[in-house]
């Protein structure tokens, strides 16, 4: 049985959630939005079970439904705005000549100022060859053929999404993912896994 104070709290929660729902813009998400959200959170997600509570609370079904709707709207907003990075300056579709199944995207954020970021999202990434890792490079439009390394990674699953700091302000033309030998020279190996051009 719910006492009056709990019922009052539920009513306050319901009103708060209703106000949040009214303040959000009414947008129709793309049909594949839920799949995109799951693809973004599954590779990095770690489930930590909560400790069981000593007592139970009765939750009104309407509060649970409103909370679930608010959570889906919040996830949609995060997915559409780059997870808090804002609107990207440029995007590049990433593809591979040697491995056509590999696809992805690179997005530049704040590239014209210090502290810029490149977000890399890859699907169907093969494991790195034994004794090797992958390295991400960017190319400025005014730099000829001098690519700059921004970070390296060894995938733990076939899908990967991560952010790397840009080497400085610039007008970036392309991104490349190379195959590098562990402990090898710092220069590009001339072996590319995948690449893309910013537009």
Q: What proportion of the chain, given as a percentage, has pLDDT over 90?
A: 53
The pLDDT score that the predictor gives to residue 90 is 97
Tell which residue, 116, 155, 117, has the closest CA to residue 135. Answer: 155
**pLDDT for the residue numbered 130:** 95
Q: Is-contact 96 193, C-beta < 8 A?
A: yes
Could you say which of 56, 80, 104 is where a domain stops?
Answer: 80
Assess whether 76 and 95 both reside in one domain. no
118 & 146 share domain: yes
DSSP character at residue 138 = E
| Domain, as residue range, for 25 | 4-80
Per mean pLDDT, which range of 10-19, 43-52, 174-183 is the poorest?
A: 43-52
71, 124: one domain: no
Helix (H) / strand (E) element for 95: namely strand 90-95
Q: Does 99 share its domain with 176?
A: yes
Range in 73-82, 98-107, 113-122, 179-188 with the lowest mean pLDDT: 73-82
Rounded mean pLDDT, 115-126: 96
- Verify that 94 and 169 share a domain, yes or no: yes
Q: Which tokens belong to 198?
A: 């910013």
Lowest mean pLDDT across 54-63, 115-124, 182-191:
54-63
Looking only at the bridges linking them, the beta strands covering 160-165 and 132-140 are unpaired
| Residue 16 tokens, joined | 């708060």
Token code pair at residue 8: 């009052």
Complete DSSP assignment for 147-192: EEEEEEE--SSS-EEEEEE-SSS--EEEEEEEEEETT--SS--S-E
Predicted local confidence at residue 142, as pLDDT: 84
On whether residue 75 sits in a domain, the answer given is yes
Closest CA to 147 of 124, 122, 172: 172
Domain boundary among 37, 60, 80: 80
Q: Which residue, of 53, 80, 107, is where some domain finishes? A: 80
Q: Chain-wide mean pLDDT for the chain? A: 75
Buried residues in 25-46 as b, exposed as e (16+ CB within 10 A): eeeebeeeeeeebeebeebeee
Q: Are strands 160-165 and 117-123 parallel, antiparallel or unpaired?
A: antiparallel
In a domain, 85, yes or no: no
pLDDT digits 0-9 by tens, 168-185 = 999 999 999 999 999 999
Q: What pLDDT score does 197 carry?
A: 97
Same domain, residue pair 56 and 12? yes
Instruction: Evaluate if residue 5 carries a pLDDT over 80.
Output: no
């Amino acid at each position: 049985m719910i006492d009056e104070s709990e019922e009052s709290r539920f009513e306050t929660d319901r009103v708060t959630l209703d106000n949040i729902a009214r303040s959000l813009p009414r947008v129709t998400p793309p049909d594949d939005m839920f799949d995109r959200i799951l693809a973004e959170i599954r590779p990095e997600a770690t489930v930590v079970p909560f400790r069981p509570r000593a007592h139970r609370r009765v939750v009104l079904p309407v509060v649970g439904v409103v909370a679930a709707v608010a959570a889906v709207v919040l996830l949609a907003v995060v997915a559409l705005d780059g997870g808090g990075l804002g609107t990207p300056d440029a995007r590049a579709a990433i593809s591979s000549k040697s491995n056509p199944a590999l696809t992805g995207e690179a997005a530049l954020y704040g590239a014209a100022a210090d502290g810029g970021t490149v977000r890399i999202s890859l699907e169907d990434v093969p494991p790195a060859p034994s004794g090797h890792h992958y390295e991400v490079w960017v190319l400025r439009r005014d730099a000829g053929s001098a690519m700059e390394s921004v970070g390296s990674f060894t995938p733990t699953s076939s899908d990967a999404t991560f952010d790397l700091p840009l080497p400085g302000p610039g007008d970036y033309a392309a991104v490349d993912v190379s195959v590098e030998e562990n402990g090898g020279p710092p220069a590009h190996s001339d072996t590319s896994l995948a690449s893309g051009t910013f537009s």
